[in-house]
Amino acid sequence: MIVGTAGHIDHGKTALVKALTGVDADRLAEEKARGITIDLGFAYMPAGDGVLGFVDVPGHDRFVRNMLAGATGIDFLLLTVAADDGVMPQTREHFDIVSLLGLSRGIVAMTKCDLVAAERRTEVASEIEALLAGSPFEGTPVMPVSTATGEGLEALRNALVAAAEQQSLRDREGLFRLAVDRSFSLQGVGTVVTGAVLSGSVAVDDTIVISPSGLEGRIRSIHAQNRPVRRGHVGERCALNLVGEGITVETVGRGDVVMNRAAHAPADRIDAELKLLASEPGTLKHWTPVRLHHAASDTSARIAVLQEEPLAPGGSGCVQLVLEKPIAAAVGDRFIIRDTSGSRTMGGGRLLDLRGPHRRRKTQQRLTQLNALARNDPVSVLAGLLERPPFTVDLVSFARDRAMRLEQAEAVLPLVPHVRVGVAEGDMLVSPDIWKSLCNSVRSTLVAYHRDNPQLLGPGVTWLAARLEPRLPTRTGAAIVRAMIADGTLAFGGGAVRLPEHRLALDKRDQHLWRKIEPCLSGDFRFRPPQGRECAELLDERTFDVRRVLKAMARQQSLIELAPDRFFLMEAVKEMAGIAADIAEAQEDGLFAAAQFRDRLQNGRKGAIEILEYFDRNGLTSRRGDLRRIVPRRLAEYIGATGASASDETVIGRESSPVGRPDFKSG
């Protein structure tokens, strides 16, 4: 368990930590000279089978920034209130901060009790009860102590140990993140960083990323709770010895996060839930500049209020944090905002979406999404998002932004009705009802398109995605269309999407022209058909018209354009693939020469080379110098009943070289 101190300056935080642990947490010469804590201090105390870690924070109002860097990751609050002073301004500010950070367990130590009479103790106890009233800490025990006389120290120590025993273990399955609050270099060791582990676990020799910079490194050694270990876990303070190119104390420091590479995705526009302190002098207006404190980082930001009215003191609402520079964060992380001068704490809250939209961030649709994102568990969030526009969730991003391993997100899926769609970037989840609507929308759109444009193969992916109902962001819609192509719901070729049963319908004039062209490509000409230009001359037709019909038939997959302006019947391509296979099979080593293929086709060398290069490009043949061999796994796709291969599909119907045929090589 990690215990964090809080309280006004000179209320005995450091002295109390020393009395409990024997360690003076003030490590800086200036701290010892001035008698005040300036930066974070750390100490440890054995507790049964474990170790209690203490983070001692400065109490002076000038050093609240340092206090905030240490407050992240603590499990238990040790609030100090001096019996002679009572509750003071920094007592209130520190208490507000830990409350906004979501902490709810703690003890109040009434320090310096040896300096006051019993009546004063009673008065201060009443002040403390009033401070805690209405907060998660209401009813927290108040324990009188004195580091001068030793009064109450043993009871406090026992209470802390008992609290540690009641501390529930945090889930260690998440992606590892450690918020760096200190970095230094040790001779013979190298760069060392310390901080609280926010999620997951890490082991010696693990590879890590420093976020947001993106520097990569490796863990050479680990100390957890002041002991050398092989593995560190969430809920512990760890010191990590890092090695890696560019990793030094100058490049890694307070505010950085050491993390699993899968969690690295810095954010600079974050939607969040914000509570404004009741002590604020006025409403929080749109685009107010603030200092944002998250984990151990501190950066400038603007607040975009997402509701109609400004946020009133004591109120809560959704906002967008527009940051001056990216931070390494996760959904659910807590944050604090202070005024730009650093003189007062204004409020705090919880991060909801690390990828807040730049536009349309105040729409009703977006606010309903934020309502779903504000739910507390992944199952509820997923279910809520799939019920709301755009009715889709990117599974990889969902897991990463919550510092979840993909397997953790997978484990949630059986609890949420969904359709899982594989796309290039990962997997997308879609509401079952919406998936059905999208499929119906695609089909009805394509039916109408094919009816109105019988001479065209189909529209492009983007055109179709923009017409889906319900409407989706273009990128999401395009991913859905590609997924339907991948699962066979739709067909794709020549840059066009179509229903699988759709075939091009030539008009009567083109049908008549095709009946004239086909004999030029079949029979004795099937292995050496004329070019489109030559065919037009033979038939005394316009070259433009002949080429138009040839390309239309290629889009129907009746022809393949093996070389620029040279079209072969699909059946001829299958036959030539079989001939190449027969020649290879007859060779002892399976290798054959272009001349052997040329002779079997009774073709010229140039024509044979064009055909073989097409087979090379599409994976049927593999070259070894001047020889070739057949790739068996591709042969069935060429000579099987289904016709053209998947690779053929990417070539059929493309425009002639050079613009439309980037895969064509000139032999």
Listed residue (546, 561, 532) closest to 644, CA to CA: 561
Contacts of 338 (CB under 8 A, 6+ apart): 64, 290, 291, 293, 344, 345, 346
Contacts of 203 (CB under 8 A, 6+ apart): 219, 222, 230, 231, 232
CB of 324 closer than 8 Å to CB of 294: no
Cα separation, 551 vs 457, in Å, equals 11
Q: Which two tokens stand for residue 369?
A: 């999404």
User: CB count, 10 Å around CB of 602?
Assistant: 10
Q: What does the pLDDT look like over 255-302, one tens digit per residue?
A: 999 999 999 999 999 999 999 999 999 999 999 999 999 999 999 999
Residues of the chain with CATH 3.40.50.300: 2-166
Q: Which two tokens stand for residue 208?
A: 């890590």
Cα separation, 436 vs 468, in Å, equals 12
Residues of the chain with CATH 1.10.10.10: 375-505, 522-649
Residue 117, burial from CB neighbour count under 10 angstroms (0-12, 13-18, 19+) = exposed
Cα separation, 198 vs 179, in Å, equals 7
DSSP-derived pairing of the beta strands 106-111 and 76-82:
parallel
Q: Which two tokens stand for residue 480?
A: 């859905």
CB of 336 closer than 8 Å to CB of 102: no
Contacts of 162 (CB under 8 A, 6+ apart): none
**Which amino acid appears at position 436 of this protein?**
K
Q: State the virtual CA torsion across 373, 379, 380, 381 in degrees, nearest 10.
A: 10
Give phi and psi for 619, each to the nearest 5: 85, 5
Which pLDDT belongs to residue 334?
A: 97
Q: What is the pTM of this model?
A: 0.75
Of the candidate CATH numbers 3.40.220.10, 3.30.70.380, 1.10.150.530, 1.10.10.10, the domain formed by 522-649 belongs to 1.10.10.10
Bridge partners for 521 per DSSP:
none
Concatenated DSSP letters for 4-59?
EEEESTTSSHHHHHHHHHS-----SHHHHHHTS--S-EEEEEEETTEEEEEEE---
> Nearest-5° angle of CA 541, CA 545, CA 548?
145
CB of 237 closer than 8 Å to CB of 189: no
Cα separation, 650 vs 492, in Å, equals 8
b/e string for 486-506 if b means 16 or more Cβ within 10 A?
A: eeeebbbbbbbbbbeebebeb
**Which amino acid appears at position 509 of this protein?**
R
User: CB count, 10 Å around CB of 307?
Assistant: 13
Of the candidate CATH numbers 2.40.30.10, 3.40.640.10, 3.40.190.10, 3.20.20.100, the domain formed by 177-263 belongs to 2.40.30.10
Topology of domain 267-365, CATH: Elongation Factor Tu (Ef-tu); domain 3 (2.40.30)
CB of 83 closer than 8 Å to CB of 110: yes
CB of 409 closer than 8 Å to CB of 395: yes
3-state SS string for 607-654: HHHHHHHHHHHCCCEEEECCEEEECHHHHHHHHCCCCCCHHHHCCCCC
Q: Which residues of the chain have pLDDT under 70?
A: 26-39, 59-61, 63, 423-426, 637, 639-667
Contacts of 653 (CB under 8 A, 6+ apart): 457, 493, 494, 495, 496, 551, 554, 555, 561
Concatenated DSSP letters for 301-352?
EEEEE-SSSPBPTT-EEEEEEEEEEEE---TT-EEEEE-TTSS-EEEEEEEE
Cis amide bond preceding 228, omega within 30 = no
Cis amide bond preceding 459, omega within 30 = no
Cα separation, 183 vs 210, in Å, equals 13
Concatenated DSSP letters for 447-458?
HHHHHH-TTS--
Place of tokens 């009215």: 309
Q: How far is CA 58 from the centre of its chain?
A: 35
Which DSSP state fits 61? G
**If residue 550 lies in a helix (H) or strand (E), which one and from where to where?**
helix 543-555
Cα Rg, the chain, nearest whole Å: 35
Of the candidate CATH numbers 3.40.50.2300, 3.40.50.300, 3.40.140.10, 3.20.20.70, the domain formed by 2-166 belongs to 3.40.50.300
**Which amino acid appears at position 381 of this protein?**
V
Residues of the chain with CATH 2.40.30.10: 177-263, 267-365
Q: In terms of DSSP H, where are the helices of 324-473?
A: 364-373, 378-386, 395-401, 406-412, 432-452, 461-465
Which pLDDT belongs to residue 35?
A: 56
Helices 508-521, 543-555: inter-axial angle, 10-degree rounding: 90
Does 1.10.10.10 match the CATH number of domain 375-505? yes
> Nearest-5° angle of CA 224, CA 225, CA 230?
20
CB of 165 closer than 8 Å to CB of 134: no
Measuring CA to CA, how many Å separate 466 from each of 49, 63, 363? 61, 53, 20
Residue 566, burial from CB neighbour count under 10 angstroms (0-12, 13-18, 19+) = buried
Cα separation, 579 vs 620, in Å, equals 12
